[in-house]
Structure 1
Amino acid sequence: MSLINPRTPPGVMELLPRQQVAFQRMLDTIRRGYERFGFVPVETPVFETADVLLTKSGGETEKQVYFVQSTGAIQQGHKPDMALRFDLTVPLARYVAEHERDLAFPFRRYQMQRVYRGERAQRGRFREFYQCDIDVIGKDTLGLHYDAEMPAVIHHVFRELNFGGFTININNRKILLGLLDGLGIGEPERRVLVLREIDKLDKLDRDKVRANLTADDLGVPGDVADQILALIAEQKSNDDTLAALRAMDVDNDTFRTGIHELSTVMEGLRAFQVPDDAVRINLAIARGLDYYTGTVYETFLNDHRGIGSVCSGGRYENLASHYTKSRLPGVGISIGATRLFYQLMEAGLIKDGSATAQVLVTQMDPALTSDYFRLAADLRAAGLNTEIQLDGGKLAKQMKYADKAGIPVAVLMGSDEKARGTATVKHLLRGEQREVALADLPAMVKALLDA
């Protein structure tokens, strides 16, 4: 029988054990941050019915859907009626609409699960990846203070992740929509296309974006394009940016509403004690997805802008309009955890995690096997993650295993130590070792790990 070549499917991130430990600890940090603000966990199925999933508008996402079909359905020629989720927002909309009567509003949920998109296979682009989302969903209304809370969560989480300095970019889509309307670009479809071009300023240079805006299909007059791009390009403090917007001679209610909402959110951020230097009003941030209606966010690592946005989101006015007549406004953010981890690992900013085991109990004498089991049980009872080297064998081989697995502390006990009622504790990274009474063993191991 010929062997099948084992290979990882393209477009997935498959990690070695100690890399997986590092990734899991990043997810744990994000989860703790979300729960610190009172968000509750939700999980939805990996697939949804196709009619539910394919209702979201905006962007190219729906063209990247993976459909799910049983072999029996294929043989019978049926079209697939299930599809893998491509984000966590559509499943959330279905979930809230379906369970509306059982949920307490405002509904504060976090969700950390894999999603699937038919991306073109290339380095750093994933077909399967984790998203870590939070959303607050209101019933009929949702105050702007929730828009201010989102950057407070972002600030807390990324400070705990400790990937270096970061800046939360914030804007309100109503400002740009009202400005475009006031400058004579009033058709809704055209304004949305213009916003999508403006949102590319982080990826394309100014001249390219200007050329796209003034091209025939958008037809923005050159002087209008220059005025918009000049406003966006100005580097001012947040207060000065708001003052400049208020001073503009734009007679448009949407524009004025956007300025008021952005001002209110900025005041809320200070009340949430988010430092001024961690937040920047960036009028170029528009978010390409059409369902965002007000506040929008993009977060960047200061020293690694090339990675792109590491956390994004915004306000939407009616999350579940396809599934219920109830009006359910919301605001949320999403961290693309797989892409973030992969790129930080590639940049050398994330190191392999330590082993889950903190202690390895070695076997020096097969006659003492039951004693080794008892030692391990005592260490676990003291709260220490402990592995026993069940195979025994040469001590050098056991030490080599501990080193390769990343286990920092080994416990050794031969017949002589047992007769004395002691064991030897060795810190493999520092080369320290001490003989201690068995009663003091857990405390000594903890002291070595904490030193």
Structure 2
Amino acid sequence: MSSGKVTPISGFPEFLPAERIIEQHVLDTIRETFELHGFDSIETRAVEPIERLSDQGEDADKEIYAIHRLAEDLQGEAAATSHEARLGLHFDLTVPFARYVLENSGKLQFPFRRYQIQRVWRGERPQAGRYREFTQADIDIVDVGELPFHYEVEVPLVVADAFSRLPVGPFRIQVNNRKIPEGLYRGLGLDDVKTVLRIVDKLDKVGPDAIREMLVDAGATKEQANTCLALAEIRTPDTSFADRVRDLGVSHPTLEQGLAELTAVVDGAAQLAPGLLVADLRVARGLDYYTGTVYETQLLGAEDFGSICSGGRYDALASDGKRTYPGVGISIGVSRLLGKLIADGAVTTSRPTPTAVLVAVMDEEHRTESMRIAAALRARGLASLVSPTAAKLGKQIRFAERRGIPFVWFPGGEEADQVKDIRSGEQVAADAGQWTPADPADLRPVVRAAAAQASEGTRED
């Protein structure tokens, strides 16, 4: 490795040990929740053909990282014609999953319920909450031919269950149906629906005046632009949004279909989790494969941070020409969520290491005895580390303190072993085959909301 100065690369997050413990806790909780709801885990490859990744909206082709072998450049081969140059790193997990369903349809049981937790890559400008490499946690439900609407009620309930098990604070899941804006735009005479959707999707970023100007530049009249903006301002905690949309005076069959579908989803969720979903007709999602219900999730009090969880229904993303596999899914932006929680100090861990016990080495001649003790503790599920040196016991204790290890074990030789809680100073005789911490929370680091930890207080050293 070069001895020169190391230059950080923005947009590729890395974690210190304590932060990694928090990340692992979040990932484990999400995984366990997904499995509780009957989802099966899969993994897909990191690359897909660029032609499949591109043309998905949101300027996806501009965000794709293309890959090729360095040897191609060195050998002067034409990268544009090589097979590897036509591959790109996936920017989400839904497009690869659709391909996976097509390739494995004969081996899957439908409706197929999948969860997937993997890294994705996007070539966008790094900023708060936006990375070029990040982790997503997705669930999807896919069926053959038709997909009942009740799954569109279910997927946000799963996310709500996961978040209820994590110290994320209050949140709100916003829901819309892509057929509502599409039907309204067509009813207004605006047939370039994709362009209008992409413009209106920028409303939170640039504001209504800029959106109005952009719509007029795209061919809309001021009256049409104002109606598009009026639709985007409708937000209700119940099904009253439908009447407010009809009050705009626009009619179209697609609009009515979207209103009926969104009404069913909001009403269905209200019966199981009152107040969980909010109908927000501003939500559109920039990816073109969404065809119906779409979701976005915000942390209350941090709305400017944007969505931490999003998704929707797609009816034609997975199709082999003979059969279509409609699906609905939702994705938790794990790295995005963690970036917010860690930066705000909203979540902490009780210690920065999973190691619970440091086994002291009385002298190098007896290191083997310390290793046997550590092995006995590990066999009973106690994460243990043997001291790297047979230094004075005070130095070994300070070694444990600096690393956040709560207990130090002293081999007794002919006498009984002793274990010391270096936070309280309490020291007792112990047997490696039987001893366990009095507080079960000491077995593993505990992740909790910072406010909860502050209110509980900490033990004195």
The TM-score normalised by the length of structure 1 is: 0.88
CA shift, 1:124, in A, is 4.8
Q: Residue 24 of structure 2: SS of its match in structure 1?
A: helix
Q: Residue 311 of structure 2: SS of its match in structure 1?
A: strand
Flag the 1:123–1:437 CA change in 2: closer, same or farther, 3 A.
closer
Q: What are the equivalent positions in structure 2 for 1:229-308 lying under 5 Å apart?
A: 229-234=229-234, 236-245=236-245, 249-271=249-271, 273-276=272-275, 278-308=276-306
Which one-letter code corresponds to 1:67 in the other structure?
A
Q: Which residue of 2 aligns with 1:30?
A: 30
Query: Could you tell me how far apart the structure 1 residues matched to 2:2 and 2:382 are?
Result: 46
Q: Which residue of 2 aligns with 1:362?
A: 360
Flag the 1:406–1:15 CA change in 2: closer, same or farther, 3 A.
same
2:170 pairs, out of 155, 165, 168, with 165
8 A contact 1:360–1:402 mirrored in 2: yes
- Percentage of identical aligned residues: 39
Query: Could you tell me how far apart the structure 1 residues matched to 2:27 and 2:235 are?
Result: 34
Flag the 1:99–1:235 CA change in 2: closer, same or farther, 3 A.
closer
1:102 pairs, out of 97, 107, 111, with 107
CA shift, 1:209, in A, is 2.4
8 A contact 1:300–1:311 mirrored in 2: yes
Q: Residue 99 of structure 1: SS of its match in structure 2?
A: helix
CA shift, 1:376, in A, is 2.1
CA shift, 1:122, in A, is 5.0
Query: Could you tell me how far apart the structure 2 residues matched to 1:448 and 1:124 are?
Result: 31
Which one-letter code corresponds to 2:219 in the other structure?
L
Query: Could you tell me how far apart the structure 2 residues matched to 1:106 and 1:448 are?
Result: 40
Q: Which residue of 1 aligns with 2:436?
A: 443
Query: Could you tell me how far apart the structure 1 residues matched to 2:232 and 2:67 are?
Result: 44
Q: Which deviates the most, 39-48 or 436-445? A: 436-445
1:327 aligns with 2:327: no
Q: Residue 140 of structure 1: SS of its match in structure 2?
A: coil
Q: Which residue of 1 aligns with 2:187?
A: 182
Q: Which residue of 2 aligns with 1:73?
A: 72
CA shift, 1:348, in A, is 2.0
8 A contact 1:436–1:444 mirrored in 2: no
CA shift, 1:299, in A, is 0.1
Which one-letter code corresponds to 1:88 in the other structure?
L
Deviations along 1:374-408, whole A, 9 cap, x unmatched?
Answer: 33233223222222214231223222222222222
Query: Could you tell me how far apart the structure 2 residues matched to 1:14 and 1:448 are?
Result: 27
2:151 pairs, out of 146, 149, 152, with 146
Query: Could you tell me how far apart the structure 2 residues matched to 1:23 and 1:42 are?
Result: 20
CA shift, 1:206, in A, is 2.7
Query: Could you tell me how far apart the structure 1 residues matched to 2:321 and 2:4 are?
Result: 49
Q: Which residue of 1 aligns with 2:218?
A: 217
Q: Residue 100 of structure 2: SS of its match in structure 1?
A: helix
Deviations along 1:108-151, whole A, 9 cap, x unmatched?
Answer: 11111112222235565422211222111111111101111111
Q: Residue 140 of structure 2: SS of its match in structure 1?
A: strand
Query: Could you tell me how far apart the structure 2 residues matched to 1:32 and 1:218 are?
Result: 49
- The total of aligned residue pairs comes to 437
Q: Which deviates the most, 325-334 or 44-53? A: 44-53
8 A contact 1:110–1:135 mirrored in 2: yes
8 A contact 1:378–1:442 mirrored in 2: no
Q: Which residue of 1 aligns with 2:313?
A: 315
Q: What are the equivalent positions in structure 2 for 1:118-157 lying under 5 Å apart?
A: 118-121=123-126, 124-157=129-162
CA shift, 1:13, in A, is 0.8
1:425 pairs, out of 420, 423, 439, with 420
Flag the 1:209–1:50 CA change in 2: closer, same or farther, 3 A.
closer
1:11 aligns with 2:39: no
Deviations along 1:46-93, whole A, 9 cap, x unmatched?
Answer: 223444444x42121211222222244331513223322222222112
Tell me the C-alpha RMSD between the 2 structures.
Answer: 2.6
Q: Which deviates the most, 42-51 or 90-99? A: 42-51
Flag the 1:337–1:230 CA change in 2: closer, same or farther, 3 A.
same
Q: Residue 373 of structure 2: SS of its match in structure 1?
A: helix
8 A contact 2:227–2:248 mirrored in 1: no
The TM-score normalised by the length of structure 2 is: 0.86
Which one-letter code corresponds to 1:165 in the other structure?
P
CA shift, 1:359, in A, is 1.9
Which one-letter code corresponds to 2:273 in the other structure?
V
8 A contact 1:363–1:392 mirrored in 2: yes
8 A contact 1:176–1:255 mirrored in 2: yes
Query: Could you tell me how far apart the structure 1 residues matched to 2:430 and 2:406 are?
Result: 20
Which one-letter code corresponds to 2:88 in the other structure?
A
Flag the 1:312–1:390 CA change in 2: closer, same or farther, 3 A.
same
1:400 pairs, out of 398, 401, 404, with 398
Q: Which runs of 5+ in 2 are unaligned?
A: 80-84, 444-458
